[in-house]
Amino acid sequence: MQNKNYPKEILSIIRSNSAPAELREKLLNYHENDLADALTALTPEERQKLYPILGIEYVAEIFSYFDDAEPYLKELPSKEAAKVISNMDSDDAVDALDDLEEEDKRKIVSHLDEDSAEDVRMLLSYDEDEIGSSMTTNYICIRKGMTIRQAMKELVRQAGENDNISILYVVDESGRFYGAIDLKDLIIARSEDSLEKLIVRSYPYVTDHEKISACIDQIVDYAERSLPVLNSDKELIGIITASDVVELVDNELGDDYAKLGGLTGEEDLNEGVWDSVRKRFPWLIALLFLGMLVSSVVGMFESVVAVLPIVICFQSLVLDMAGNVGTQSLAVTIRVLMDENLTGTKKLRLLFKEMRVGLINGALLAVLTLVSLGIYIHFFKGYDWGQAFLLSGCVGISLIVAMIISSLVGTVIPIFFHKIHIDPAVASGPLITTVNDLVAVVTYYGLAMIFLIDVFHLA
Amino acid sequence: MQNKNYPKEILSIIRSNSAPAELREKLLNYHENDLADALTALTPEERQKLYPILGIEYVAEIFSYFDDAEPYLKELPSKEAAKVISNMDSDDAVDALDDLEEEDKRKIVSHLDEDSAEDVRMLLSYDEDEIGSSMTTNYICIRKGMTIRQAMKELVRQAGENDNISILYVVDESGRFYGAIDLKDLIIARSEDSLEKLIVRSYPYVTDHEKISACIDQIVDYAERSLPVLNSDKELIGIITASDVVELVDNELGDDYAKLGGLTGEEDLNEGVWDSVRKRFPWLIALLFLGMLVSSVVGMFESVVAVLPIVICFQSLVLDMAGNVGTQSLAVTIRVLMDENLTGTKKLRLLFKEMRVGLINGALLAVLTLVSLGIYIHFFKGYDWGQAFLLSGCVGISLIVAMIISSLVGTVIPIFFHKIHIDPAVASGPLITTVNDLVAVVTYYGLAMIFLIDVFHLA
């Protein structure tokens, strides 16, 4: 972005000793996000001087752009901080409050104005993974039965306080959701038209207790500037804006990504070492103990290795390939499972498809392995051609078997966890690795024992 | 979502034999996305009958919600299809055209009206990873120097054709970007106010040739309903809407996710088996040959295994742990690298942090391993306590060394690929696995050879 220098410009304007009115005028020409960036570079005293000049509403908007509002809220007396929070969009207010420690949060909430306190309490009453926790109460709401002129007047009145004006929400006499009007349609309508005609009655909506992960795909599909959130009585209680959707998608996908990478949550550069340790350790310890299980199974084949040590050369090859195929299937399955409407037939189809992909990839790789390993063993390990191809054939067959089973395991395990309502992205990784290792080890050493040693007496 | 039944409702309305005017009236009460869903369930003949009733503009909106518009565009004569495309937002038009085969695309483009053809050509001129390819040309644009009343009139005039009205973009006499006006501010302004005062002059913007991956984070930070796209002459040529941002974030993260899972691109349920094979095979074949490299290194330790077969039991344990730690570091590093403004100092800090995390996790696991493996080896493998702890100590030390080095490798390799402008998410996986396997094998068998066999004569 070319405009990285905006925060720098802002800094020099703030430090230019302009008269307050002029300063304010100049600063209003910047985006709140750039102002937030600039504010972080000021001293606390400079910030304190600036706030009254900007005015509480503008300060509140800027505060909603802080990644972590805590240090800036703590600089203010609780009453002032409460005023800032009261002027924020309700979801931003809750985000900012969540940055604080319990004690500070309680203090500020006690000073919130009545409306904001109610909104904040409502949003905090939802679980983090429910739609209700991410909605905002800043929207334009009109009663059905108005004329176009009345609706326009109401819009102008409410627009002063509410940012999200692209869609006007219509409720009936008892506050139940009645429909939505595209602001564009209202603007181009003639004042003698009927408002009722502009209302889209069967407008899509989400309900407050819906799980975000369960409906995020559909929300994205609607590609709307906002969607209404209804409670179980079909009353309109908030909206989800497009910016909220960006955040939700970012969180959902970022979470899946982190879990696939073996982290329990997303990390960033500024995270402390111990936080990172805490996020990564659970997965590692699960793997350690499951790995010991694999070790004891490998131990059963000690006798094979004792008489035919060359087989250990290719253990890591078979295990790595099985592991990778399993991860590929897992990655695909987790994304597919995000669609809550997946039927049993579709899951079976996925399973069958993964198996075929595993078979095809396994067969292709097996042929490659047979040829190249055979040549390698003959020339570098001094076995004759027949023995070399017996060995490489054993690796090749293990690869096919291990890859088919790994594809299956990488699909079945996440489907199973999903079924019993355990997050498949977290639980599947270590289990799949272990099962795949076990399958690969048993297949590989089993084949070596039976074919190479018992049948062909290669030892 | 409770409203999954909307498409069903729509279907029964369409098939209810209502008069055209009544039918249209009823259908206008649904969201275009639900209508698109319903349309896919109709027969081609039913669709053909429906289009004239809905009208071209509405049909175009519905078409932009199809996941794959090809079958529906192909049903229409090229001239009709061109009319539909002409009425779409420019970015949706390009998406729909991209669904078609070259020949059909060419035919339809030749029938586009002049304005649309120009917009489509412009968008197609950008690389897929450039901002310009994702922008839309549907926005409200006014000249500087207007009065509030004139601006309002212009808004009403342009709103008929343009969906994205939340922000009005202002250009100067020569078409250069001058600033932006929040529609809300315009609506609540008094007609005697000056328009100039409403214009945010230093509004954030992106440029058309910017790489999406390089600026997506910043775009998300602004959380705006739309951002202007400028060319190198600072002329306004399009906008990026919040829905575009959702799509971009989804693509960027989905891509990283897929690559971390060892796929070359995102897959979905409907993808053919051979497409999946093609997406997964490249990674597997790279791993196969790198795995053979590891095999030949393991081969150098055949003598160790021949005299002390128990060591093979724990090879998979050490390798798996090293692999997992490497993947964790890789996952974190790739996300951190998305920030293009990362300085060398920050990269060093990341490296240092990853090393410490590796050390701490490694040390914790090593202690656990030492104790539990020692007990296991004593009781199940029949070694005396001293020998058992020598063996488990060897595994423990290998774990620490392997995990520190894996953390390093998992950080350095993606940073290196990023430096030489190769996508780190694609290239890093196989290489990191291989390097980590090599390090783990050499450490583990090396320690076993030196300590267990040469020093303590455990064989």
CA–CA separation, B192 vs A194, rounded Å?
30
Contacts of B155 in chain A (CB under 8 A): 187
State whether A284 and B321 contact (CB < 8 Å).
Answer: yes
pLDDT at B168: 95
Residue of chain B with shortest Cα separation from A200 = B29
The tokens describing B357, both together, are: 């995390």
B425-438 per-residue burial string, b: 16 or more CB within 10 A, e: under 16: bbbbbbbbbbbbbb
Contacts of A376 in chain B (CB under 8 A): 292, 296
Residues B246 and A240: beta-carbon distance below 8 Å: no
State whether B328 and A249 contact (CB < 8 Å).
Answer: no
State whether B269 and A315 contact (CB < 8 Å).
Answer: no
3-state secondary structure of A269: coil
Nearest chain B CA: its distance from A221 CA (Å): 7
State mean pLDDT over A320-325: 86
Nearest chain B CA: its distance from A156 CA (Å): 6
Question: What are the DSSP calls for B114-181, one per residue?
Answer: HHHHHHHHHHHTS-TTBGGGG-B---EEEETT--HHHHHHHHHHHHTT-S--SEEEEE-TTSBEEEEE
CA–CA separation, B225 vs A424, rounded Å?
34
Nearest chain B CA: its distance from A453 CA (Å): 15
The answer, yes or no, to whether residue A190 has pLDDT greater than 80, is: yes
| Residue spans per domain, chain B | 2-126, 140-260, 280-455
State whether B31 and A200 contact (CB < 8 Å).
Answer: yes
pLDDT at B321: 87
Express as a percent the part of chain B with pLDDT over 90.
46
CA–CA separation, A328 vs A352, rounded Å?
15
Residues B300 and B306: beta-carbon distance below 8 Å: no
Looking at the domain A2-126, which fold is it?
Answer: MgtE N-terminal fold (1.25.60)
pLDDT at B341: 65
pLDDT at B302: 87
Assign B1 a pLDDT band (cuts: 50, 70, 90): very low
CA–CA separation, A212 vs B96, rounded Å?
29
pLDDT at B358: 85
Token pair 């050509």: residue:
B121
Express as a percent the part of chain A with pLDDT over 90.
46
A68-83 per-residue burial string, b: 16 or more CB within 10 A, e: under 16: ebbebbeebebebbbb
Q: Measured between CB atoms, which of A257, A291, A325 is closest to B321?
A: A291
Assign A419 a pLDDT band (cuts: 50, 70, 90): confident
Assign B210 a pLDDT band (cuts: 50, 70, 90): very high
Greatest Cα pair distance in chain A? 97
3-state secondary structure of A162: coil
The answer, yes or no, to whether residue B338 has pLDDT greater than 80, is: no
Residue in B91, B40, B86 with CA at minimum distance from that of residue B243: B91
3-state secondary structure of A176: strand
pLDDT at B4: 57
> Any residues with CB less than 8 A from the CB of A326 and at least 6 apart, and which?
A406, A407, A409, A410, A432, A433, A436
What are the distances in angstroms from CA A153 to CA A182, A257, B223, B424? 16, 47, 28, 55
Q: Measured between CB atoms, which of B225, B253, B330 is closest to A253?
A: B253
The answer, yes or no, to whether residue A1 has pLDDT greater than 50, is: no
Residues A328 and B261: beta-carbon distance below 8 Å: yes
> Any residues with CB less than 8 A from the CB of A155 and at least 6 apart, and which?
A140, A142, A165, A168, A183, A186, B187
ipTM confidence: 0.80
Contacts of B183 in chain A (CB under 8 A): 165, 183
pLDDT at B126: 94
C-alpha B126: how far from chain center: 18
Express as a percent the part of chain A with pLDDT over 70.
97
Q: What are phi and psi of A211, to 5 degrees?
A: -75, 135
Contacts of A350 in chain B (CB under 8 A): 269
> Any residues with CB less than 8 A from the CB of B112 and at least 6 apart, and which?
B82, B85, B86, B120
State whether B263 and A328 contact (CB < 8 Å).
Answer: yes
Q: What is the 3-state secondary structure (H, E, C) of B205-273?
A: CEECCCEHHHHHHHHHHHCCCEEEEECCCCEEEEEEEHHHHHHHHHHHHHHHHHHHCCCCCCCCCCCCH
The tokens describing B144, both together, are: 């500087």
Neighbours of B55 (CB within 10 A): 12
3-state secondary structure of B332: helix
**Which neighbouring-strand residues pair with B242?**
none
Contacts of B28 in chain A (CB under 8 A): 200
Residue of chain B with shortest Cα separation from A284 = B321
Contacts of B273 in chain A (CB under 8 A): 353, 356-357, 360
Looking at the domain B280-455, which fold is it?
Answer: Tetracycline Repressor; domain 2 (1.10.357)
CA–CA separation, B67 vs B129, rounded Å?
20
Q: In this structure, which amino acid lies at residue B311?
A: V
CA–CA separation, A392 vs A396, rounded Å?
6
Contacts of B267 in chain A (CB under 8 A): 332, 335
State whether A437 and B325 contact (CB < 8 Å).
Answer: no
State mean pLDDT over B450-455: 85
Assign B291 a pLDDT band (cuts: 50, 70, 90): confident
State whether A331 and B261 contact (CB < 8 Å).
Answer: yes
Q: Measured between CB atoms, which of B9, B204, B309 is closest to A3?
A: B204
Neighbours of B455 (CB within 10 A): 10
State whether A321 and B205 contact (CB < 8 Å).
Answer: no
Assign B339 a pLDDT band (cuts: 50, 70, 90): low
State whether A292 and B165 contact (CB < 8 Å).
Answer: no
Q: Measured between CB atoms, which of B160, B179, B287 is closest to A320?
A: B287
Q: Measured between CB atoms, which of A246, A292, A321 is closest to B242?
A: A246
| 8-state DSSP, A173 | T
Residue in A415, A416, A406, A408 with CA at minimum distance from that of residue A436: A406
CA–CA separation, A18 vs A7, rounded Å?
17
State whether B315 and A312 contact (CB < 8 Å).
Answer: yes
> Any residues with CB less than 8 A from the CB of A19 and at least 6 apart, and which?
none
Parallel/antiparallel/unpaired status of strands A206-207 and A226-230: parallel
Contacts of B229 in chain A (CB under 8 A): none
Q: What angle do the packed helices B424-447 and B273-299 form, to 10 degrees?
A: 30
Residue in A201, A202, A208 with CA at minimum distance from that of residue A232: A208
> Any residues with CB less than 8 A from the CB of B303 and at least 6 apart, and which?
A309, B449
Assign B419 a pLDDT band (cuts: 50, 70, 90): confident
A53: left (phi over 0), alpha (psi -120 to 50) or beta: alpha
Token pair 């050493």: residue:
A445
Chain A interface mutation, best of B24, B30, B31, B263, highest count of A Cβ atoms under 10 Å: B31
C-alpha B404: how far from chain center: 30
Class of domain A273-455: mainly alpha
Higher pLDDT, A195 or B267: A195
* Average of per-residue pLDDT values in chain A: 88
State whether A288 and B350 contact (CB < 8 Å).
Answer: no
State whether B309 and A303 contact (CB < 8 Å).
Answer: yes
Contacts of B349 in chain A (CB under 8 A): 269
Chain B interface mutation, best of A184, A297, A333, A391, highest count of B Cβ atoms under 10 Å: A184
The pLDDT tens digits for B79-115 are: 999 999 999 988 899 999 988 998 999 999 999 999 8
Chain B interface mutation, best of A61, A276, A436, highest count of B Cβ atoms under 10 Å: A276
C-alpha B140: how far from chain center: 29
Express as a percent the part of chain B with pLDDT over 70.
97
The pLDDT tens digits for A122-149 are: 999 999 889 999 999 999 999 999 999 9
Nearest chain B CA: its distance from A59 CA (Å): 16
Chains A, B: CB contacts within 8 A come to 378
Token pair 């009005």: residue:
B168
State whether B30 and A357 contact (CB < 8 Å).
Answer: no
Architecture of domain B140-260: Roll (3.10)
Residue of chain B with shortest Cα separation from A265 = B332
Nearest chain B CA: its distance from A436 CA (Å): 12
A145: left (phi over 0), alpha (psi -120 to 50) or beta: left
C-alpha A51: how far from chain center: 35
| 8-state DSSP, B454 | I
Sign, CA torsion A82/A83/A85/A86: positive
The pLDDT tens digits for B245-262 are: 998 988 888 888 888 887
Residue of chain A with shortest Cα separation from B28 = A200
State whether A33 and B204 contact (CB < 8 Å).
Answer: yes
The tokens describing A364, both together, are: 């292709």
State whether A364 and B65 contact (CB < 8 Å).
Answer: no
What are the distances in angstroms from CA A268 to CA B271, B350, B390, B416? 33, 10, 39, 19
